[in-house]
A and B are shown apart, each in its own frame.
Chain A
Amino acid sequence: MYAFDYHRPTSVKEAVGLLTDGAKIVAGGHTLLPTMKQRLAAPESLIDLGRIPDLVGIERTPRSLTIAAMTTHGAVAESAEVKEAIPALAELAALIGDPAVRHRGTIGGSVANNDPAADYPAACLALGATILTNKRKLSSEEFFLGLFETALEEGEIVTGVSFPIPHKAAYEKFRNPASRYALVGVFVAKRPSDIRVAVTGSGSNGVFRWTEAEDALAKRFSPKSLEGMSASPDGLNSDLHADAAYRAHLIGVMARRAVQKAADR
């Protein structure tokens, strides 16, 4: 990788002050460092958020679970609070990468990167999470804009994600066995007000909600409601791993499994 300057601020304020034009933020580094090794990214400086105490931790209130940005996937997967409040979220975290990757990768890095095959964006969208930054609070719909694109502005850093606690939820992922990214991942959430189904790994514009399935499940929360349904292949990715029609089929299969799993909770 190309040379860069390295900064390790101890507060979010200090980090924001360092966030100049050629700078990039590094959280767990498991997307950015490989990208820099390939010389696809060449930031002039790296701002490491790894030593900001405020950015680590999990907080439970009666109605929500707030996970600070630098909390690792491993910590979320093993957190008793997460398992109790939103078990689907702990299960999702346990399916990211492999054990060593989960010890470094963070929730803040995942949402800020908005990889179209990342897992957390599906949980955020289905659960109706609020993305917290140093400047404001954004709904997931406002935050995730498209392929690797978010609503983050200049000088804005994700500080955490707040998840309302659903009645029931589940995540089903069809993993690419080599990369362990989602070929298709479906997160289903039965919330107090509505039912949401969010799909990752498939959309050519990133994570999206499968509204036909949501409507069908609103009548009855059962895999039977989705029998025979598959998503529209329009707007789904076709690549060497799977074509759009296959992904569309898998979305139906994963959604039925997720609903079954949630209903059994």
Chain B
Amino acid sequence: MTSVSLTVNGKAVTADVEPRTLLVQFLREGQRLTGTHVGCDTSQCGACVVHLDGEAVKACTTLAVQCDGRTVTTIEGLAAPGGTLHPMQAAFREHHGLQCGYCTPGMIMTAVDLVRRKGHHLDEATIRHELEGNICRCTGYHNIVKAIAAGAEAMAAEPVREAAE
């Protein structure tokens, strides 16, 4: 076992883990943060996307030990204390950007990272291209794209705290 200390959604966490523990297992099974999903488990589908030091990564292809000393934000860390939704979460609700909801946490974490990199005014082509690492098996992309465009604008209008990052 190896000791890891990291910040998860703003809270300091220390745990003993086997080196082979994936970040997604650590989050779901160790921290009971089950909002991060496992879809394909092969770094294709994006259901497990979280932020590592503010950058979107696939938690199924990152070891928990690699995150020692670093900061992880999951979908549970996006909403403000008290439960006010992050503007990107609110946009997904408003625009019906989800059907079964399985891909949604990864879609939202990817979308927030996209805004960080490309700004608040995103055209449809950019959003679709940037979503190539996130698969929606309900094929509900149309509303996801609309939600991200709206969420990105809303993030500019309503600067929230930097999540837990």
User: B-contacting residues of A (Cβ < 8 Å)?
Assistant: 1-6, 8, 29-30, 33-34, 36-37, 46, 48, 50, 74, 78, 97-101, 103-104, 178-180
Contact = CB atoms under 8 A, between A and B. Distances in A.
25 contacts: A1-B20, A2-B20, A3-B18, A6-B19, A6-B65, A29-B63, A29-B66, A30-B43, A30-B61, A33-B63, A37-B42, A46-B19, A48-B66, A74-B55, A99-B56, A99-B114, A100-B43, A100-B57, A100-B58, A100-B113, A101-B43, A104-B57, A104-B61, A178-B44, A179-B44
Interface in B37-83: 41-44, 46, 49, 52, 55-58, 61-63, 65-66, 68
B56 A100 contact: yes
Interface residues of B, number: 29
The winner among A2, A99, A104 for most chain B CB atoms within 10 A is A99
B92 to A, nearest CB: 18
With most chain A CB atoms within 10 A of its CB, the pick from B41, B43, B110, B114 is B43
A97 B110 CA distance: 14
A99 B130 contact: yes
Contacts of B61: 29-30, 33-34, 104
Contacts of A33: 61-63
A34 B130 contact: no
A99 B133 contact: yes
Interface of B: 2, 18-20, 41-44, 46, 49, 52, 55-58, 61-63, 65-66, 68, 110, 113-114, 117, 130, 132-134
Nearest to A72: B55
Contacts of A1: 20
Contact of B41 (A37, A46, A78, A103): A37
A34 B45 CA distance: 14
* Chief secondary structure at chain B's binding surface: mixed
A99 B62 contact: no
A264 to B, nearest CB: 21
A3 B19 contact: yes
A8 B134 CA distance: 30
Contacts of B58: 100-101, 104
Q: Which 3 A-B pairs have the closest CB atoms?
A: A98-B133, A6-B19, A103-B55
B133 A100 contact: yes
A154 to B, nearest CB: 23
Contacts of B117: 78, 99
A203 B100 CA distance: 42
B62 A104 contact: yes
B18 A99 contact: no
A100 B46 contact: yes
Nearest to B17: A6
A189 to B, nearest CB: 26
A98 B63 CA distance: 19
Contact of B56 (A29, A50, A103): A103
Contacts of A99: 56, 110, 113-114, 117, 130, 133
